[in-house]
A and B are shown apart, each in its own frame.
Chain A
Amino acid sequence: MSFTRPFNPLDAAAEIETALPVVKHRKVTARLWRHSQARIGMILGILLLCFVIIGPIIYPHDPAKPDYGNKLAPPGSQHILGTDQSGRDQLARLMEGGMRSLGSALLVLGSVSSAGLVIGLIAGMSGGWFDALAMRLVDVMMALPGMVMAIAVVGVLGPGFINLLVALVISSWAYYARLTRSYVLTARQRQDVISARLAGIGWGRVIFTHILPGVLTQLIVIVTLNLGSMIAWISGLSFLGLGVQPPKAEWGAMLSGSRFYFTFAPWLLLGPAILIFLSVISANLIGNALRDILDPKANE
């Protein structure tokens, strides 16, 4: 990687202090816990994670095993939340489906933020043609609504869970790249980075010790803020049959399947609906609190 943007320490030092306050991560967790809304969100989130991760280990029923003699059974002692249209245990399916809904939302956001981080970092450090090209692409991607872009990609690749995830990654990386790039550009002018460079420390080490921690803090805030809407998108598009395909469990797909049995078995609809709502609100509560805590403007 060649960094062609000229570096002038005198110019840079003349810049006003633009450094964001360095926030200690331990302190953030403590402050999040003291924030009452964030606490509700975190407790909810931990409970939901336990439900989808530990739940299947404790709960004995197989989510995929149909029992056609026992279809649409109401909640009872044998099947706690009853059975669905094929006689599969609803609670076990909710646990398995949650793993897919929540896991894929985290996976998409993880890939999106890493892609954005790499592209933004290279663009911000190297400048030149790569920077210009990447940022024009970012401009165009951000000028189109995410939903429309996601429909464009799923429409071309065809319905399917992996295709849906790919579509969501393609339609939402741009913001992360722009955020990283602008952070890198400001950080290059910062006192600590300039001092480190003047002390003869190479760019590689400066990036890891002075730039990346700050970028990551910002990206984590954005990821948490977007987590709720990502869960909603994945379950919403699966609900429409564009994501997870029928025999597999996923909250949105389960919601869609249960619609036709609503008059006999309304509980089938409520389970996924409540879990989707709780996941989104948990993510939103944490995200909003995190933004309040880490936003330098709000701290003043």
Chain B
Amino acid sequence: MNSNQHYERVEIVKIIFQRLLQMFLTLLGASLIIWALLPLAPGDPAMRILQSLGVTEPTQHEVETKREELGLNQPYHMQYIQWLGRLVQGDFSESYQNGKPVLEELGRRLPDTFRLASLSLVLTIFFSISLALICTAFHNQWPDHLILFLTQIGASTPSFLIGVLTLQFVVVKLGVGKVLSQGDVKMILLPALCLSVNRSSNWSQLLRAGLLEAVNAKYSLVATARGARKLRLLFKYALPNAMLPFLTVIGLGIGGIIGGSAIIEAIFTWPGIGSFVFKAITARDYPVVQGFVIIAGASYVLASTLVDITSTLLDPRIREGGQL
């Protein structure tokens, strides 16, 4: 027994280590792709930076000095290594629009994005779990059919559409709240709700399928035979079993917090990094776009790794290397 436990622990450490190594390689690969995209931008980078500094018609000499300074005359692999080195040290270069460090500019807007996205995530989790539970409790009765119908509509309405319609009909027409929210904490509920409609529809359908599978599983039959009531069966047996795969979905939702709310932020003029990056795209502010992509991508990769490791630790079937 003791040696068995020891063996198991070694296995878990091995799995976690492999997963972390895999994450590191993925981040490295992602950074290579993001770096390789930049030369696709039209125009000479040295020229762009000089123009952003206010030099409208730089001389040949100025461009050449800038190229040397940026390391653009070096071989590609050296450029990548230097770029990565600066990135690791937190140097995301400067915004073309105002010359301020990109990391500082993005960091300033991160709390607002985080507030909006995390509230919406909490709402989404609450809605999807309660809707799925109602569906399962009343399987094939009218509440189930009604919720299925509504979630079908919700899943087919893109969140920007819900955002625009809410903004126009609720805010402009009925006068609830303000058109320009500007990060006002009191105004957070509407965008957060708009953001959660589409996702809670999808998630509740997923969880409903999981719950139904759990309710129809053999252990549920055994529990019923031993006299468990319907509610106890639902909460004690079905929900924990259905939640495990659902935790992965939630974890990826957490990973997508940065970037996932971008369109809704732009519609409600919420001052997060999503609306900021769309302005940067229109202004051709490449360092800001690149910084956003790096932060949003890295946080997603990080979150999915954590989710993977957590579900390994939580699920005895995966932990013991058994078959699912």
Interface stretch, picked from B243-251, B255-263, B312-320, is B255-263
* Interface pair B256/A152, CB less than 8 Å apart: no
Q: How far is the CB of B113 from chain A (nearest CB, A)?
A: 13
**Chain B residues numbered 269-324 whose CB sits less than 8 Å from any CB in chain A:** 277-278, 280-282, 284, 286, 289-290, 292-293, 296-297, 300-301, 304
Q: Mark A217-238, 1 if CB is under 8 A from B, else 0.
A: 0000000000011001001100
* Interface pair A155/B281, CB less than 8 Å apart: yes
- Give complex CA distance A240, B168 in Å: 16
- Give complex CA distance A228, B290 in Å: 28
User: Is B18 part of the binding interface, using a Cβ–Cβ cutoff of 8 Å?
Assistant: no
If the complex has contacts A143-B30, A144-B300, are A151 and B293 also in contact, measured as CB distance less than 8 A?
A: yes
User: Is B161 part of the binding interface, using a Cβ–Cβ cutoff of 8 Å?
Assistant: yes
* Interfacial chain B residues near A280, Cβ < 8 Å: 156-158
Q: Mark B28-57, 1 if CB is under 8 A from A, else 0.
A: 011001100110111000000000000000
11 contacts between A and B (CB under 8 A): A144-B30, A145-B256, A151-B262, A151-B281, A235-B160, A236-B263, A240-B263, A240-B266, A241-B282, A242-B278, A255-B164
User: Is A263 part of the binding interface, using a Cβ–Cβ cutoff of 8 Å?
Assistant: yes
* Interfacial chain A residues near B301, Cβ < 8 Å: 143-144
**Chain A residues numbered 235-284 whose CB sits less than 8 Å from any CB in chain B:** 235-236, 239-242, 252, 255, 259, 262-263, 266, 269, 273, 276-277, 280-281, 284
- Give complex CA distance A164, B125 in Å: 32
User: Is B165 part of the binding interface, using a Cβ–Cβ cutoff of 8 Å?
Assistant: yes
User: Is A13 part of the binding interface, using a Cβ–Cβ cutoff of 8 Å?
Assistant: no
- B side interface size, CB within 8 A: 46
* Interfacial chain A residues near B189, Cβ < 8 Å: none
User: Is A139 part of the binding interface, using a Cβ–Cβ cutoff of 8 Å?
Assistant: yes
User: Is B155 part of the binding interface, using a Cβ–Cβ cutoff of 8 Å?
Assistant: yes
- Give complex CA distance A263, B47 in Å: 45
User: Is B152 part of the binding interface, using a Cβ–Cβ cutoff of 8 Å?
Assistant: yes
If the complex has contacts A152-B37, A269-B168, are A147 and B260 also in contact, measured as CB distance less than 8 A?
A: yes
B interface residues, Cβ below 8 angstroms from A: 26, 29-30, 33-34, 37-38, 40-42, 152-153, 155-158, 160-161, 164-165, 167-168, 172, 255-256, 259-260, 262-263, 266, 277-278, 280-282, 284, 286, 289-290, 292-293, 296-297, 300-301, 304
**Chain A residues numbered 118-149 whose CB sits less than 8 Å from any CB in chain B:** 136-137, 139-141, 143-145, 147-149
| Interface bin, chain A | 35 or more
Secondary structure at the B interface, as helix, strand, loop or mixed, is helix
User: Is A158 part of the binding interface, using a Cβ–Cβ cutoff of 8 Å?
Assistant: yes
- Give complex CA distance A156, B151 in Å: 36
Q: Nearest A residue to B205 by beta-carbon distance?
A: A288
Contact of A262 among B172, B255, B278, B280 (CB under 8 A): B172
- Give complex CA distance A174, B299 in Å: 20
* Interfacial chain B residues near A266, Cβ < 8 Å: 168
Q: Nearest A residue to B157 by beta-carbon distance?
A: A277
* Interfacial chain B residues near A273, Cβ < 8 Å: 161, 164-165
* Interface pair A143/B168, CB less than 8 Å apart: no
Contact of A147 among B156, B157, B259, B290 (CB under 8 A): B259
* Interface pair B281/A154, CB less than 8 Å apart: yes
* Interface pair B164/A151, CB less than 8 Å apart: no
Contact of A143 among B260, B266, B289, B300 (CB under 8 A): B300
Contact of B296 among A148, A154, A252, A255 (CB under 8 A): A148
* Interface pair A281/B262, CB less than 8 Å apart: no
* Interface pair B26/A145, CB less than 8 Å apart: no
User: Is A50 part of the binding interface, using a Cβ–Cβ cutoff of 8 Å?
Assistant: no
* Interface pair A140/B37, CB less than 8 Å apart: no
Contact of B289 among A145, A151, A241, A255 (CB under 8 A): A151
Q: Nearest A residue to B172 by beta-carbon distance?
A: A262
User: Is A74 part of the binding interface, using a Cβ–Cβ cutoff of 8 Å?
Assistant: no
- Give complex CA distance A259, B158 in Å: 17
